[in-house]
Every structure is written in structure tokens, then in C-alpha cells.
Amino acid sequence: MPQKVVCSKCGYVLFEEEEDLKPPDEIIQMFEDERCPKCGHKLSVVPVKVEIMPLKKSRRSK
């Protein structure tokens, strides 16, 4: 299952992975002082927004 984590302030992509899911606290610890490298916003393990989107399937011919 794909996972994409972005900064809630500036939208910078902090983490994107197609296969392996990582817990939010592990992703945040990857960044110095637990801040967004682009805008400096303090990162939090509490999600601000969660989106679940359907996987696009290719059409199969019968």
C-alpha cells in the first residue's frame, strides 16, 4: 500500500513509499530537530489530515 507523508504547513513531501509502511514517529525522527527541512515547521505524530484514495486499476479485456 502506498504511503505519502507531507508537511501540513508547506506541503513538502517528507516521505513517499510504494511498498513498506512506516509509523509516523519513525518518519519524523528521520529529520533534524523533528522539523520540516523546507519551512522549519515542527512535525507532529498527530495527523492533521488523512486521505485514503482508491488504487487505480488497469482495465482488463475479457
* Residue 38 pLDDT level (bands cut at 50, 70, 90): very high
9: region left, alpha or beta (phi > 0 left; psi from -120 to 50 alpha)? alpha
CB 34 within 8 A of CB 7: no
Query: Would residue 14 count as lying in a domain?
Result: yes
What is the 3-state secondary structure of 9-62? CCCCEEEEECCCCCCHHHHHCCCHHHECCCCCCECCCCCCCCCCCCCCCCCCCC
pLDDT over threshold 70, residue 61: no
**pLDDT value of residue 51:** 81
Provide the domain count of the chain.
1
**pLDDT value of residue 46:** 81
Domain range for 8 is: 3-34
Query: Would residue 9 count as lying in a domain?
Result: yes
What tens digit of pLDDT does each residue of 2-15 get? 888 999 999 999 99
Query: Would residue 21 count as lying in a domain?
Result: yes
Query: Would residue 58 count as lying in a domain?
Result: no
* This prediction's pTM: 0.71
